[in-house]
Amino acid sequence: MKNKVFKQGRRFLSLILSVTLLCACAPMKQPPASPSWAEYEQYHAKNLSAQNKFDQLTNDLFRKEISESGISFHFSIADPASRGLDTVPLTLGDYSMEKMKEGTKELLELKKNLDGFNQRQLTDEQRFTWQILRSYIDTELSSDGLELYAQPLTNTIGIQAQLPILFSEYAFYTRNDVDHYLALLSTIDDYYGQIMEFEKKKSEAGLFMSDTSADNVLKSCEAYLIQPDHSFLAETFNTRIDALTDLTPEEKAAYKEKNLKVLEEHFIPAYKNLATGITSLMGTGTNDKGLSWYPKGKEYFEYLVKSNTGTSYGSIRSLTKAIEKQLNSDIQAIGQITKEHPEVLNALDNYSFHYTKPAEILESLKSLISNDFPELPDCSYTVKYVPSSLESSLSPAFYLVPPLDRYEDNVIYINGNPRFQNEDLFTTLAHEGYPGHLYQNVYFLSRKPNDIRSLLSFPSYSEGWATYVEFYSYTLDNGLNPELGKLLAHNTAVTLGLYAYLDICINYEGWDKDQTAKYLGTFYNIEKTDIVDSIYTSLIDNPTNYMEYYVGYMEIMEMLNTSKKILKDDFNLKDFHTFLLDVGPAPFTVIQPAFRNWLAKQLRSH
């Protein structure tokens, strides 16, 4: 999980050489005089000065943003002193309208500072970072005035569902980390109090969630309303304390007692107050349909699409057409497979992969992908299971992004809830592990990008990549009939694409539940009321969530198909994957021009 915060190219000499070669091609009446060494040094100094200033700007930005929240601080960097940071922010942040307005002013100031740079004077890497930051700023500024449309509390991916997991994974490197952890956990009631004040403002503006959505949030809160000594936060805390070597047994026992006290006096009251506050506001949410039924709902949906997908498509209409095109492509592929290989239909309800245990699956994936993906540096992973009390309120699986200076240590969670028993663990771990989230993050962080890029959140790149490789994993030597693997990949893509399409229909076009049910029944033979209700409620609670996955997958597929079409026999899948991994998390509006440059270089090299 990445917090959505402010969220080796050629150097100057190479650029000078390329410019010189281009100039030499133009006809001239007489050759120009060679620049003097003094002139060259002056030109060189201006570029170096601009590059140093840009580094200073991004370093200052990183230090500022990382200091806004103690959780972000700890999960972003394991050794703060290496970046000159010696003060841990003992706060979970400021969730208020005032802070949001202040953030808008800061974005405007940052935009002004960025526009003061001449991009030609920056290195390739700095220029790319500049473009990413500029795109990010423009997107976030488009939400000015729409702050109350934000949804901090939602089932599964809301703050109240995910924050405790982050606390349970808060690493204890030294006793100082234990003190910081307890101090941060002690502020959770105040932090949730801020969120409830925000929800009250939403209610006053007529923007509070529907009672159905509120019920779902209340259910997620119930999982944390248990005795402190029976809480998974007590269990995980004790395990981390016992692993420390710089504490005496007496000190460890004292810390364990203090943790139980903080859970009793702050954590559990935080969830009780949250539940009480939500209950008191129930009935004030008058809209039980999609975003478009709010006064500025369409405008906010457009912002969410830009922010969460970073799509290269310029309008919702053009994006919808692209989704329809990809959906039809996958549906046609299914039809072709079943026509040519009808026997695969008999195996749909009874198939199995070679490996079924997490460790075996991940190790087999590491081997199976070696031909199509670049090699990773050494790293490790730990597979954990979601605590049983949280199974009903969390995703089927998830990966925790490691600190930028400790990418070697990775954690994957699997949800053992029976409702996920039909999920294919092999492809799920391809999504979360190799060559999915774990692989992509380790690769990116090992290349030591600009620190600010580790804070930027571009979920559609990350989830699009993980979805793309998840579908890819169906076609590996995994125990499946190859044609069955292709069928399952296309079928899963259709399901995800359907959710993305309905997301637009419900939250932008204004479809109600009856229209949604009619569409699902007519085109997909889905007529069970409980399934329709589940889909409809999920898309209302989490607008653009499924689009993050599908639009990212779709953008990658478009680049892949373009590469194959243009490069033909010279196309190399490993080279394509290396390009996407080298680019790293970014909006597709920035990635697409970089892709065209890469494609042109591939053509020239062949």
- Residue 522: CB partners within 8 Å, gap ≥ 6? none
Please, what sign has the CA dihedral across residues 538, 540, 546, 548? negative
58 and 186 both lie in a single domain: no
Question: What's the pLDDT at 311?
Answer: 97
Q: What is the pLDDT of residues 138-194, one digit of tens each?
A: 999 999 999 999 999 998 889 999 999 999 999 999 999 999 999 999 999 999 999
163 and 221 both lie in a single domain: yes
Question: What's the pLDDT at 34?
Answer: 52
Apex CA 45: angle with CA 44 and CA 51, to 5°?
95
pLDDT at 3 over 50: no
- The count of domains in the chain is 2
Q: What is the pLDDT of residues 208-228, one digit of tens each?
A: 999 999 999 999 999 888 889
Q: What is the pLDDT of residues 411-429, one digit of tens each?
A: 999 988 887 776 789 999 9
Does 582 map to a domain? no
Does 247 map to a domain? yes
143 and 245 both lie in a single domain: no
136 and 19 both lie in a single domain: yes
Question: What's the pLDDT at 5?
Answer: 33
166 and 115 both lie in a single domain: no
Does 20 map to a domain? yes
Q: What is the pLDDT of residues 254-306, one digit of tens each?
A: 999 999 999 999 999 999 999 999 999 999 998 999 999 999 999 999 999 99
Q: What is the pLDDT of residues 29-57, one digit of tens each?
A: 444 455 555 554 555 788 999 999 999 99
Does 205 map to a domain? yes
Q: Which residues of 257-269 are buried (b: 16+ CB within 10 A; e: fewer)?
A: eebbebbeebbbe
pLDDT at 430 over 90: yes
Does 354 map to a domain? no
Average pLDDT over residues 312-331: 96
17 and 143 both lie in a single domain: yes
pLDDT at 27 over 80: no
Question: What's the pLDDT at 42?
Answer: 56
Measured CA to CA, the distance from residue 465 to residue 505 in angstroms comes to 25
130 and 208 both lie in a single domain: no
Which helix (H) or strand (E) element contains residue 380?
A: strand 380-385
pLDDT at 487 over 60: yes
144 and 166 both lie in a single domain: no
55 and 132 both lie in a single domain: yes
How many C-beta atoms surround the C-beta of residue 451 within 10 A? 20
Measured CA to CA, the distance from residue 196 to residue 200 in angstroms comes to 6
Q: What is the pLDDT of residues 59-71, one digit of tens each?
A: 999 999 999 999 9
Does 167 map to a domain? yes
What mean pLDDT is reported for the chain? 90
Average pLDDT over residues 224-234: 89
Contact between 482 and 475 under an 8 Å Cβ cutoff? The reply is yes
Of 236, 266, 288, which one is at a domain's C-terminal end? Answer: 288
Question: What's the pLDDT at 43?
Answer: 56
135 and 237 both lie in a single domain: no
Of 123, 149, 175, which one is at a domain's C-terminal end? Answer: 149
- In the block, tokens 């109090």 appear at 193
- Residue 58: CB partners within 8 Å, gap ≥ 6? 129, 133, 450, 451, 452
- Taking phi over 0 as left and psi of -120 to 50 as alpha, with beta for the rest, 30 belongs to beta
Measured CA to CA, the distance from residue 389 to residue 417 in angstroms comes to 10
Using DSSP's 3-state secondary structure scheme, residue 383 falls into strand
Q: What is the pTM of this model?
A: 0.90
Q: What is the pLDDT of residues 494-537, one digit of tens each?
A: 999 999 999 999 999 999 999 999 999 999 999 899 999 999 99
Q: Which residues of 335-369 are buried (b: 16+ CB within 10 A; e: fewer)?
A: eebeeeeeebeeeeeeeebebeebeebbebbeebb
Q: pLDDT grade, residue 330 (50/70/90)?
A: very high
Q: What is the pLDDT of residues 581-593, one digit of tens each?
A: 999 999 999 999 9
Q: pLDDT grade, residue 22 (50/70/90)?
A: very low
pLDDT at 395 over 50: yes
Apex CA 248: angle with CA 243 and CA 254, to 5°?
90
Of 257, 288, 319, which one is at a domain's C-terminal end? Answer: 288
What residue numbers bound the domain in which 177 lies?
159-288
Q: What is the pLDDT of residues 236-263, one digit of tens each?
A: 999 999 999 999 999 999 999 999 999 9
Question: What's the pLDDT at 41?
Answer: 52
Q: pLDDT grade, residue 10 (50/70/90)?
A: very low
Average pLDDT over residues 366-390: 92
48 and 169 both lie in a single domain: no
- Residue 288: CB partners within 8 Å, gap ≥ 6? 210, 211, 212, 540
16 and 143 both lie in a single domain: yes
- 28-37, 332-341, 343-352, 570-579: which has the minimum mean pLDDT? 28-37
